[in-house]
Structure 1
Amino acid sequence: MSIHYNVADGIARMVIDRPERKGALDADMRVAMVEYVEAAAVDDAVRVLVIEGTQGNFCSGADLGQFSGETIASSRQRMRRGGLRLARAIWEMEKPVVASVGGPAIGLGWAIALVCDQIVVARSARFAFTQANISLVPDCGAAYMLVRHLGLLRAKSLLFSGRMVGAQEAFDLGLASDLVDDDALADHVAALAQRLAAGPTFALGMTKHLLHQALGPSLADFLELETMIAPQLRFTEDFKEGTSAFREKRKPQFKGY
C-alpha cells in the first residue's frame, strides 16, 4: 500500500507515497484514501486533514492500466467506489482539508486538490486535466469545480485544451490559496494546519457547509451525472487511440467516435 496515514496533535496527514509513478493512484489506493478520509471525519482526535505527496510529487492521476477488461457497468461501480466517493468525502467532511501540492497534480490529482478547502502550492507545482488528450471527460468533480472557480468559458478552454497550468498561473486564477517556494512548502502547510487545528472545528465545518450550499446544485448530484457519462468514453475508438498514443509518446489521430 502506498497511502500512509497518521494523526498527531489534531492533524491527520494522508500521504500519497508512490514516487516511481509520480503519485499515480491505482484502484486500491483510491479506496484506501476514501477510508482514511471517512475515518478522519468521525475521529474526534482529528481537527484538520492534510493531503500531500512525496519526493516532489503530488498525484499524476489515475493509473491508466486499471481500465482493461471493464464494462460500462463495472466502470461505473469502480468510479462510485473510488474516485467519486473520495471527492465527495473530502468535500463533505465537516473539518478543514488542506492540499499540499508540490510537483504534478494531473487529472484525478488536480481534482483531489480542488475539492480541498485550502490548496497550498509550491512553485514546482503544475496542473492539468488531460482527459481530452485520450478522449475521456474530466471526472471527480473537475468540471463542477472549474466552472465555479473560473466561469464557463475559461473552464471550457482549459478542459478542451488539456494544457498544463503552472503554479503562478493557478494562483493568479484563484485555483490555489497560497503560493510558496518549494523549500517553504512543508513549514507553511504545518503552520496552516496547526492554526486550523486550534480553531473552532465545528464552526469551521458549518461555515464550509454554508459556502458549499451557496454554490448551487450539490456536488453529489453532479458526481452521479458523471457516472452516467464518463464510463461510456472508455469504449470508444478515440479512447483506444488516445491511450495508445500516450504509451507510444506520439500525437493521437482521433476519428471522432
Structure 2
Amino acid sequence: MAAKAERKRLAKEPYERELLRLQHELVKLQEWVRTEGARLVVVFEGRDAAGKGGAIKRVTEYLNPRIARVVALPTPTERQRGQWYFQRYVEQLPAAGEIVLFDRSWYNRAGVEKVMGFCSREEYWQFLHQCPTFERMLIESGVLLRKYWFSVSDTEQERRFRGRLKDPMRRWKLSPMDVESITRWEDYSRAKDEMFVYTDTPDAPWHVVESDDKRRARINMIADLLAGVPYSDVAVPGIELPPRPPSAGYQRPPRDLQKYVPDHAAGLERGGRRGRA
C-alpha cells in the first residue's frame, strides 16, 4: 500500500480563530444539554501521545465543570477487580444535564490490558462480546454516545516521546508503559484492529481522528462532535448588575492584622532574579 502523503500542518492563526468559534459552539451545546436534560458521553481513545489530552483540554476550556467533567480512572482497586468489568464506568456516567468525557474508558480492556496481559483471554473475549450490548443499552436509555480514536503514526509518537523526555515540565507524562508501547507497536495495532471489528457498530461507530497534526486533530474532532449532536441555541436569561448601595458605615479592619501573600511579582518588575516559589 502506498504511503499516505503528509499534509501540511495547520497554521496557528487560522487554528486559533476556528478553535475559538468552535469553543463558542461548545458553550451553546453545554447550555442545550443542561436545559434539555440530555446526557452526553464522549470517549477518547488512542495510543499513548496521540493527542487525546490536548483535545480534551480544548473541549472543556470554557465549559462549566459542574456540567462537563473529565473522567480518567486510575488502576482498579482489588475490590473493583472483583466487580463486573463495566461497573466502575457505569458509576461515572452522566445524569440529566451533564457531559462526561472519558480520557480512556472501558476500552482499556481491549487495548492495554489485552496487550500487556493484564486480563485473561476469557475476560478479553467476554468484553468484546458484551461491549456492543452495553453501549446499545446506553443509547437506548437516551445517552448520546460519541467514540473517538486518535490515530498517530509511529514516527510522530516517538518524536513526542522524545520531546517529553527532554522537557522537565512534561517528563511526568512519559511512563514505563509508554516506553514499552514503542516495542509493542504491532501488538497494539492488531488489538485496535480486532477491537474495531467487534465494537465499530451502527449503533456506536468509531470516529477516527488523524492526529499527527495536533491542531488539525483538535479542530476536526470538535467540529465532528458538534455536527453529531442535535443541539440548538438556547435562550439565556439576561443578567443586569444592580447598582451598588451606599455605604452603611462598614470599616475594614487594619491591614496589618492579616497575613498577606508576599509580592513576588514586584521582583519581576524590578528585573530581580527569580528563585523557587
Q: Of the two structures, which has the highest relative contact order with CA contacts closer than 8 Å and spacing of 6 or more?
A: 2
Same-fold call, TM > 0.5?
Answer: no
- Report the TM-score when normalising by structure 2: 0.29
Which has the greater radius of gyration? 2
User: What TM-score, normalized to structure 1?
Assistant: 0.30
Larger helix share, 1 or 2: 1
